[in-house]
Structure 1
Amino acid sequence: MLKKQLIMEKALELFAEQGFRATSVQQITDRCGISKGAFYLSFKSKDELILTLIDHFMMQITSDIDYLVKDSDDDKLLYEFYYTTYTFFHKHKDFAKLFMQEQMQTVNEELIVKMHQYNKLHEKAILSLVERVYGDRIKDTKYDLIFCIKSFMGMYAELFLYENVEIDFDLLSRSLVEKTNLLAKYMTIPFISQDYIPLIKYGKNQEVTKDQLLESMEQKMDEMEDSLEKESLLLLKQELITPSLSPAIVKGLIENIRNHPHCKGIAYLLEDYYEMKNEKRQDA
């Protein structure tokens, strides 16, 4: 196991046991069996480690949802959205609880900005979902429906995050599909103004740049063993620098890295980067 990955895994164990603030770098290095110097070669500080863990956690669920929205059948999409989201948070519930507490307590500006970015990515994915499922039937209320769906997810997540209730996720997902369908059918008075719409559709005005992608890809390659995924990532990096491959080959290379634990986020960002490029080309 690579040292950075080891630190992240052992730190997660400690954070789940005693929280972010109560865990020291010394405790993390003791759990890993490494020196403090080795820790600081991987992370500049405990705060950077926390941000890296949160970034990894959020990018995993964001990329999973985005892939789901793009690839699921329309008649199953809403159910699979709820089911995938809830089972992911349940699987990682110790960290999810810590993460939610950190959001409420943090004064870390970098974390606040990052959470705003992920919130916008989440809203954008839900917008794509409701447009696919309901089409023009909800053209006036779809932005309100986004907030209803987000509220459902937060309220019911409390049952297993804080109340420790055993959850039937199939039943919960079917119940929320029914509730969402009822709202979509009977809502007639929109609240979300036109001023807010661009913030959802284009809220990622901090869109990832080519230089940021290249930096992230370099970092991920340093963390990976030699493999098909690493080779695919190298080819994608070369394609960003000097484009020469067909869209079909680029898409195939992205599929190669999608399920690697270090590359899910990169796959999502690359897809979004090329999607934005295509939209700009069509608008030109």
Structure 2
Amino acid sequence: MKEKEIIIIEAGIKLFAKKGFSSTTIQEIAEECGISKGSFYLHFKSKEALLLSTFEYYLNFSMENLNKIRLKHDDPREAFIEQTAYQFKEIFDHRDFIVMMIREHTIPTRRSMSDFFQRATKFSNEFYLNALSDIYRSKIDVFKYDLNMIVQGMITSYKNLFLFSNITLDFTKLAEFILERMDDIVEGLTRSNKAPVLTEQAVFDGLFFPASSQDHILKEIKRLSSAENIIEDHLITLQVLEEEMKKDEPRKPVLQGMLANIQGDEEFDSLVQLIKDVYKLE
């Protein structure tokens, strides 16, 4: 990301936290950066585009820093404690902005934003699964997906505490406390004869790494297109639908027109209903 774009992002964060997203104008952001409004548009198409870039920037920033912390520690427990403390500090330092976003319900619903949250979810689950495996090794293989949910649940609860209250805690001591509680849980699980609640199949079914609605539709289109006995008209219809679904905002008239070509054919019922449900089509 270019230096000027980072400056604009940081100015946007400052103003959004202070005034709110909807009340902050592009002109105000430009003035905060010492640039013209026209210069703003050279970098971002809209305020919503700036918001998405802000999320992307801080996700990538956090991913890089968490990885740097991991690389500087030989002991995975020490790495986890510092990584967790770092995450708590990031939440605390940006809580005004985060709380503003939650209260204003300003998250855009475009596909690009949906894709971002899918990527963030995937990163979070991979991060904790890897961290737990590094700490506990094969001891937790059968329970690793349950433990992933448990540790994220604890950490998220403390993050919410920092967001919505004035309480202050020592982030490092809190991270140590959480890891010690995970030790207790791991010890209890390894002594038990209980089966895990979450299994490998849960991952494949999308519980941990959920696909977006568009991804589900594209997967279904691909499956139907590969049928050996598909007729040419249906194949062309699926190809048009596939191209439309790859856009940020698929056009409803195009979707309706293509669905009319395959509606009533039993083999396409699941695809037709899926698209209708997602895009609220009649």
The TM-score, its normalising length taken from structure 2, stands at 0.64
Deviation at 1:98, TM superposition (A): 4.2
Q: What residue identity is the alignment partner of 2:49?
A: E
Q: Which runs of 5+ in 1 are unaligned?
A: 207-284
1:59-74 superposed matches below 5 A: 59-72=60-73, 73-74=75-76
1:196 alignment partner, one of 188, 192, 202: 202
> Structure 1 pair 175/87, CA: closer, same or farther in 2 (3 Å)?
same
2:131 paired residue among 119, 129, 132: 129
* Mean CA deviation greater in 139-148 or 73-82: 73-82
Q: Partner residue of 1:25?
A: 26
Structure 1 Cα separation of the partners of residues 60 and 206 of structure 2: 18
For 1:11, give the aligned amino acid: G
Report the equivalent of 1:162: 164
1:148 and 2:154 are equivalent in the alignment: no
Q: Distance in 2 between matches of 1:200 and 1:123?
A: 12
1:94 & 1:170 partners in 2: Cα distance? 22
3-state SS of the aligned residue for 1:34? coil
Q: Counterpart of 1:91 in structure 2: which amino acid? A: D
Q: C-alpha root-mean-square deviation of aligned residues, in Å?
A: 2.9
- CA distance change for structure 1 residues 77 and 178 in 2, over 3 Å: closer, same or farther? same
Tell me: CA distance 1:29–1:78, structure 2 relative to 1, closer, same or farther (3 Å): closer
**Distance in 1, Cα, partners of 2:88 & 2:186:** 21
Higher Cα radius of gyration: 2
Where do residues 205-224 of structure 1 align in structure 2 (5 Å cutoff)? none
**Separation (CA, whole Å) in 2 of partners of 1:35 and 1:6:** 13
Matches of 1:106 and 1:175, distance apart in 2: 36
State the one-letter code of the partner of 1:87.
Answer: K
In structure 2, do the counterparts of structure 1 residues 60 and 82 end up closer, same or farther at CA, with 3 Å as the change threshold? same
Residue 70 and residue 87 in structure 1: after superposition, are their counterparts in 2 closer, same or farther (change >3 A)?
Answer: same
Runs of 5+ unmatched residues, structure 2:
213-282
Aligned pairs (5 A) from 1:19-98: 19-72=20-73, 73-98=75-100
AA at the equivalent of 2:161 = L
User: Deviations along 1:232-277, whole A, 9 cap, x unmatched?
Assistant: xxxxxxxxxxxxxxxxxxxxxxxxxxxxxxxxxxxxxxxxxxxxxx
Structure 1: distance between partners of 2:70 and 2:6: 29
For the 8 Å contact 1:54–1:99, the answer to whether it is kept is: no
Q: Is the 8 A contact 2:59 2:120 kept in 1?
A: yes
Does the CA contact (< 8 Å) of 1:123 and 1:200 recur in 2? no
- Kindly tell me: are residues 68 and 33 of structure 1, through their superposed partners in 2, closer, same or farther at Cα, counting changes over 3 Å? closer
Q: Which amino acid aligns with 1:12?
A: I
- Residues in 2 aligned to 1:99 and 1:152: alpha-carbon distance in whole angstroms: 22
Task: Report the CA distance between 1:199 and its aligned residue.
Answer: 6.9
Q: Structure 1 149/116 Cα, relative in aligned 2: closer, same or farther at 3 Å?
A: same
Task: From the superposition, tell whether residues 32 and 69 of structure 1 become closer, same or farther in structure 2 (CA, over 3 Å).
Answer: closer
> Does structure 1 conserve the Cα–Cα contact (< 8 Å) formed by 2:121 and 2:209?
no
1:75 to 1:171, Cα distance in 2 relative to 1, 3 A: closer
Give the aligned residue type for 2:176. R
How much has 1:131 moved relative to structure 2? 0.7
CA drift of 1:76 comes to 1.7
Among 119, 139, 144, the residue aligned to 1:117: 119
1:113 shift after superposition: 1.3
One-letter amino acid of the structure 2 residue matched with residue 108 of structure 1: R
* Deviation of the 1:10 alpha carbon: 1.6
- What secondary structure is seen at the aligned counterpart in 2 of 1:141? helix
* Cα distance in 2 between the residues matched to 1:121 and 1:92: 20
State the AA in 1 paired with 2:82: E
Q: How many residues align?
A: 206
